[in-house]
Chain A
Amino acid sequence: GQQLNQSPQSMFIQEGEDVSMNCTSSSIFNTWLWYKQEPGEGPVLLIALYKAGELTSNGRLTAQFGITRKDSFLNISASIPSDVGIYFCAGRGTSYDKVIFGPGTSLSVIP
């Protein structure tokens, strides 16, 4: 079945640093989604991408839909303590497919 891989699995960074994480798939997706989950809460949608090559920003977050349709990237600039959480990528093939979630990247920010 379809699977997503996320790297790195976890990150420990200094406040103010930029963060990069990525998500890869063995199959093509037509939609890429990035979620953030804070401790004890449900995941919240950050960015949705619908076209190959698309670059979309949400504040300090920028995500890109890879041109091969098999990967996506999320960057966070100038990290702050409230960026702490688990970041999940998710993808969907056709509109009728279920969304597939990656295993997550755990981000810790050291003040």
Chain B
Amino acid sequence: SQTIHQWPATLVQPVGSPLSLECTVEGTSNPNLYWYRQAAGRGLQLLFYSVGIGQISSEVPQNLSASRPQDRQFILSSKKLLLSDSGFYLCAWSDHDRLNYGYTFGSGTRLTVV
């Protein structure tokens, strides 16, 4: 069966520090991968998505970047964090060949920038 892993679960980082969040998917190949951000009690904002290795599409201009160095690995990064980068970050995947099945989400990373 397919599983998705995100880490770390929580992170407290000072303003101006770098960020690296990692997401990996197991049990499938060539997944579509997504990074979402959720402000407290709010909806899901799509940040990046990827349909293949090295292929990244950005949905909103921001202080963050994403990379996909391997088929089932998706990384969210920042060189210098801002206070406004705080939030709940969710990684998700979908089956490239079974798109109607929707997205499966990881358990999220709670980022607090102080």
List the interface of chain A (C-beta within 8 A of B): 31, 33, 35, 40-45, 48, 50, 86, 88, 90, 92, 95-96, 98-99, 101-104, 106
Contact = CB atoms under 8 A, between A and B. Distances in A.
B44 A88 contact: yes
Contacts of B49: 98
7 contacts: A42-B108, A50-B100, A88-B44, A90-B103, A92-B99, A98-B49, A103-B42
Contact of A102 (B6, B43, B94): B43
A42 B107 contact: yes
Q: How large is the interface on B (under 10, 10 to 19, 20 to 34, 35 or more residues)?
A: 20 to 34
B23 to A, nearest CB: 11
B27 interface: no
Nearest to A100: B46
B87 interface: no
